[in-house]
Structure 1
Amino acid sequence: MQSPFIVELNEQNFHQTLEGSMQAPVLIHFWASMSQESADIIPDLRNLAQQYNGAFTLALVNCEEQQAIAAQFGIQALPTIALFMNGQPVDGLGGPQTLASVQAMLNKHLPSQEELDLNKALELIQQGSHAEALKILQTLPEELTQKGDVKLALADCLLETQQFDLASKLLEHIPLEYQDNYYKSLVAKLELHEQTANSPEVQALEKALQDDPSNLQTAHDLAIQYHQVNRDEEALDLLWSFLSKDLNAQDGNLKKAFMDILSALGQGNSIASKYRKQLYSLMY
């Protein structure tokens, strides 16, 4: 199956391919079967184009079959590699090359892998795939995650995956120049959650537990209410305060509620992972 990032350049697609360098760089590799070095590197260049996943297009020119194109570029030796951006040549290599030297040339002009990952995460957010975007954002180096726009993206993902406490901490440290409409919409979403999360039912149960801290039924009911208003970390923390002393508290009802909340949060949730580890350490 032909990759969308790799083309065999000919007179029919020549102009379209070069016009494509207005959107993404085009790496043109001039080769011929009579030049063993120029042919041998092609599989590595193909793999490289796949790894970069559209960050550049690889255009292969068989100079034996496309002599007019080779002549137009004035190719004197094989292999020859030329990098085009915005319709113009910006760099190139002549003679036999290692893959590392090709990568070094590309790295001078292309975004880093971390920047490509960030762009992918931002695309996922636009598509509504916040959980997938969050996994990528959490792997980025600190110099990127400390930037205001990346913090906003992280906060967005945390809100959508119901990790409200972590989102709140991030939103408290957004630089002033990034406090735009996007920031304001995230703050509004957090405030709406906080208003809902502090319902009269929750307040009444909190008061009841404060008056009788050892009442297991009240603790159970409050944890369920916390979970229903997405205060899951507080729910798990409350249940764990009893389960850590007695796994079978309230005839196993507290453990069941605890497991139900972990299950609802799923495997990828950092809060669930924390409490799941604590439970396993006690059980095994």
Structure 2
Amino acid sequence: MENKISLTPENIQQVLASGDPEKLVLMTFFSAQEPNCLAQAGILDALAQQYPNNLVVATVDCDQQQMLASQLAQQVGLQALPTLVILKGGTPVDVLPGAKSQEEISKVLSEHLPSPELILLDQAKQALASGELNEAFALAKQAYGVAKENPRVLLVFADICIQIKKVEEAEALLGSVPEEARDAYFTNLSSKLEQAKEAQESPELKRLLAEVESAPGDLSVLCQLAQAQVDAGKKAEALESLLTVLRKDMNFGEAKKGYLDIIASLPEGDEVAMRYRRKLYSLLY
């Protein structure tokens, strides 16, 4: 369901009777003949964009749907245009008569919407489902910044870290989950974490490390090692391997391209990406 809807006799039951406890319906009585309604419509558009997964703006057009508007007006005791009715789980929980500012509406919504960290987590899970792993990581990190003690935040953030092979971060997050919150989800993530840690110590990786140790000047082996480290989720180590190559020969094979590709694959604002970008610049300039 889109989160901006014009109410009609055909869809009103489906829209207003939503039983989703995490989603609010903001029903607005609107008339194009009322300047305050036109001004408030822009505010509601902005709120719909701000809360795409948690808010549905349902408009009752009093000009186009006069019979429906009359029936609903009687039910809510409509006294002014515009008027907002907030429904949660299909039940009205607040009425805001008259023109309201965005700050006034947001304040009332905050009393009924999930907490900011849970909204961010929901957005992170949506990004994860769409395959946007770095976006999911960034959103989960924001949620963690808001509520470091929330077990659900810790678990979802750890889950995303495991999926993008940030094993050390995932281990630290799971380690901070309180004993009483270590449910089946925690157990499942702990198992995934152990698998990820085992993958980081593959026989191929050990073989290449041994080759580099015995022949540190072989740049092609260093490049092979870097690829194996990327495959194992050790991107910082891979960057260090390629940096060793670039320090000896800036134009060796695909080393510079591989280095930049790794940095580009990391989430925006990632500390490893920033650090190794600076190191490359110091070599270039």
Alpha-carbon distance change, 129 to 39 in structure 1, aligned in 2, over 3 angstroms = closer
Say if 1:31 and 1:38, in contact at 8 Å, map to a contact too. yes
Q: Which residue in 2 is equivalent to 1:59?
A: 58
Runs (5+) with no aligned partner, structure 2: none
Deviations, residues 210-260 of structure 1 (Å, cap 9, x unaligned)? 6x6x832297265555445443323433554x46xx8225x964x854652
Post-superposition shift, 1:134? 0.9
Q: Which residue in 2 is equivalent to 1:29?
A: 28
Q: Secondary structure at the match of 1:20?
A: coil
Identity %: 28
Q: Which residue in 2 is equivalent to 1:115?
A: 118
Give the Cα separation in 1 of the matches to 2:208 and 2:176.
33
Give the Cα separation in 2 of the matches to 1:86 and 1:222.
55
Alpha-carbon distance change, 35 to 168 in structure 1, aligned in 2, over 3 angstroms = closer
Deviations, residues 176-229 of structure 1 (Å, cap 9, x unaligned)? 23333333333333333433433455546656766x6x8322972655554454
Runs (5+) with no aligned partner, structure 1: none
Say if 1:32 and 1:62, in contact at 8 Å, map to a contact too. yes
Q: Equivalent residues in 2 for 1:70-89 (5 A)?
A: 70-89=73-92
Q: Which residue in 1 is equivalent to 2:247?
A: 247
Alpha-carbon distance change, 36 to 256 in structure 1, aligned in 2, over 3 angstroms = closer
Q: Secondary structure at the match of 1:97?
A: coil
Deviates more, 1:59-68 or 1:201-210: 201-210
Q: Which residue in 2 is equivalent to 1:6?
A: 4
Give the Cα separation in 2 of the matches to 1:98 and 1:216.
67
What TM-score, normalized to structure 2?
A: 0.76
Q: Is 1:152 equivalent to 2:151 in the alignment?
A: no
Q: Secondary structure at the match of 1:111?
A: coil
Alpha-carbon distance change, 105 to 265 in structure 1, aligned in 2, over 3 angstroms = same
Q: Equivalent residues in 2 for 1:242-281 (5 A)?
A: 242=244, 247-248=247-248, 253=252, 256-257=254-255, 259-264=257-262, 266-269=264-267, 270=270, 271-281=272-282
Give the Cα separation in 2 of the matches to 1:126 and 1:33.
39
Post-superposition shift, 1:139? 2.7
Match of 1:192 among 185, 195, 198: 195
Q: Secondary structure at the match of 2:77?
A: coil
Deviates more, 1:150-159 or 1:196-205: 196-205
Alpha-carbon distance change, 186 to 92 in structure 1, aligned in 2, over 3 angstroms = same
Say if 2:48 and 2:57, in contact at 8 Å, map to a contact too. yes
Q: Is 1:46 equivalent to 2:45 in the alignment?
A: yes
Give the Cα separation in 2 of the matches to 1:97 and 1:12.
29
Post-superposition shift, 1:121? 0.9
Opposite residue 4 of structure 2, the aligned amino acid is I
Q: Secondary structure at the match of 1:84?
A: strand
Alpha-carbon distance change, 163 to 73 in structure 1, aligned in 2, over 3 angstroms = closer
Q: Which residue in 1 is equivalent to 2:145?
A: 142
CA RMSD of aligned residues (A): 3.4
Aligned residues: 275
Opposite residue 17 of structure 1, the aligned amino acid is V
Higher Rg: 1
Give the Cα separation in 1 of the matches to 2:198 and 2:101.
60
Say if 2:143 and 2:153, in contact at 8 Å, map to a contact too. no
Post-superposition shift, 1:119? 0.7
Alpha-carbon distance change, 99 to 142 in structure 1, aligned in 2, over 3 angstroms = closer
Post-superposition shift, 1:262? 4.5
Alpha-carbon distance change, 261 to 174 in structure 1, aligned in 2, over 3 angstroms = farther
Point out which structure has higher relative CO (alpha carbons under 8 A, 6+ apart).
Answer: 2
Say if 1:131 and 1:157, in contact at 8 Å, map to a contact too. no
Deviates more, 1:216-225 or 1:10-19: 216-225
